Structure 1
């Protein structure tokens, strides 16, 4: 296939953007160093919530647009991996959230029984990322798109083969653009057997390096986590894992003895603000930059993908 558009990056941002473009009739190829199941996206806890992402003025719209899509996908969780699950954000207050919060159905103050220290209760999309990424890839192929394993040294390599390139390279944008404002935020999680937890819990300090959350996924419970800025280490740390389990067990004591199934590490591609803009080269070829989503790539994925698609369409 001679691609009209090459999307660089096979994580959730790249695949969602490729799906939008292919379903708009574009011939699309995704170039990715790792298969989608091997990207940072596959490690994500993937609870819908605008977390560690800017600019605030745009994030709300992207997030709500994505929320509506996930609500529809939750009608078939076995295929999509998307479920609507209740839970609480400890310490959160409606008054501290953006205008997007008014668009979240059922979002309310938690009762004392639901969250003793106060917080917010909501039924939100929770995404089983390995299932979801495979579903996105299948949807892309059904629309005529392809996914190719390619490692790039420069975005010019893609521009040499297609008139339009969408740069969804995540942390790779630090070197491919290059953009030194892209920084890793290391996230480590622990997978355990679920002792019967059917609600999610999150207590995340947006400025801290340690967070506490647990998300029930099919066949496992995901415990987190960390948000270590400028740390590239991809290997799980044993001491960090023990601290994660201990923090979660302070909320649900039965988690202290849950059998560990595995450990995962991902590097969130943080940036002071998402870069979503078109660059037109002197020869008329278009490069749409679409990266820097930090810890909320899943949350804003559909809204951002649709904006990126508009930039591609307008460039033609």
Structure 2
């Protein structure tokens, strides 16, 4: 296949889509204004969401009328990668725990080994203190250890013959691209390159903390544990009084702790506009909600005999998740722009990693006009044939 396909953006959506097309025999080129490997100071680029993922394969904070279909396809692909021992892909026993009764989200029906916490050993359920009424569920989920998975994914793309070019594109440049097919994975930059039909361009700002060299958390059966924990609203809430959650995702290089879900907008300079600052702790001049430490510390201490303190060696991170809108935020569609066939793939909210393979397979299906199941089988076969040591 001689026609080149241009992919705009080098985040997880862009890399994954380019990998899929490259392995299917297309010649691809990623155009990006910044490469992940060239960024030394992550907090200088909060709009580059792929620098900051918790990377659990759970459809949190994403809005799409095709969510179930895309998620299940992505989830299936990740589980197959896990079988092939792709770098960084593991499974967790994940808890979602609440201090009040709440409705189960639809995705609970899509998760393996789902069950409520009622019949799970009480001493293994994440909690802040004993004799506390708790509600919620647990399930198995795929987790992408970002320090291992993302570099391996980029290496797979390059090893497969893909190329990356650094260029900051403007709208006027689109017609000059040497490709009739363009994949738009530019995230928060998309409205500046293309006309976006959504009137309400929402961003979710999230605070994360990375504590290096922290141990894995496990069940008595040695299953790795992660959790989202939501206390009563009077303990931790957003500016509107809605209960907020904290979380911990252990990985080989330590814990990723969160979180915050502050919804606002970016101005024309790509700076955060809406702020009701409730942050009261500061590390390295970055302010963040104190509950990320205080509540996680209570849970870690009570349940796992571990701790985290403001005095620990902690790396703070602040990133944006592009929601677009809360009705159908994911933009996965085709249009003609400047004589090009453009496939949009952005607006994943907090589920960029989660939906990465599902969206990539959908675009590959549109371009190749093949059955998605056949495309998945073909891709997995080609990935299995690649030397794992060279790839990682």
Same fold (TM over 0.5): yes
Aligned residues of 1:209 and 1:226 also touching (Cα < 8 A) = no
TM (normalized to structure 1)? 0.87
Count of aligned positions: 310
Q: Is 2:132 the partner of 1:132?
A: no
Q: Distance in 2 between matches of 1:95 and 1:241?
A: 26
Q: Distance in 2 between matches of 1:274 and 1:190?
A: 27
After superposition, give the CA deviation of every residue in 1:233-258 in whole Å (9 maximum; x if it has no partner): 59976441543111211212332338
Q: Is 2:3 the partner of 1:23?
A: no
Q: Is 2:209 the partner of 1:190?
A: yes
Q: Which residue number in structure 2 is paired with residue 62 of structure 1?
A: 70
* 1:274 paired residue among 322, 327, 330: 330
Aligned residues of 1:14 and 1:168 also touching (Cα < 8 A) = yes
Compared CA separation, residues 304 and 296, structure 1 to 2 (3 A): same
* 1:286 paired residue among 319, 341, 356: 341
Q: Distance in 2 between matches of 1:83 and 1:29?
A: 29
Q: Distance in 1 between matches of 2:189 and 2:317?
A: 19
> How much is the aligned-residue C-alpha RMSD, in angstroms?
3.0
Q: Is 2:37 the partner of 1:43?
A: no
Compared CA separation, residues 209 and 101, structure 1 to 2 (3 A): closer
Compared CA separation, residues 94 and 137, structure 1 to 2 (3 A): farther
Can you give the 5+ residue segments of structure 1 that lack an aligned partner in the other structure?
Answer: none
Q: Which residue number in structure 1 is paired with residue 252 of structure 2?
A: 218
Q: Which residue number in structure 2 is paired with residue 296 of structure 1?
A: 351
Compared CA separation, residues 246 and 107, structure 1 to 2 (3 A): same
After superposition, give the CA deviation of every residue in 1:41-88 in whole Å (9 maximum; x if it has no partner): 131111111111111x311111111112222222465x5211101120
Compared CA separation, residues 236 and 176, structure 1 to 2 (3 A): farther
Q: Which residue number in structure 2 is paired with residue 34 of structure 1?
A: 34
After superposition, give the CA deviation of every residue in 1:19-45 in whole Å (9 maximum; x if it has no partner): 111111111011112213554213111
Compute the displacement of 1:187 (Å).
Answer: 1.2
Q: Distance in 2 between matches of 1:138 and 1:190?
A: 27
Compute the displacement of 1:160 (Å).
Answer: 2.7
Can you give the 5+ residue segments of structure 2 that lack an aligned partner in the other structure?
Answer: 40-47, 128-133, 219-224, 231-236, 266-270, 274-282, 370-392
Greater C-alpha radius of gyration: 2
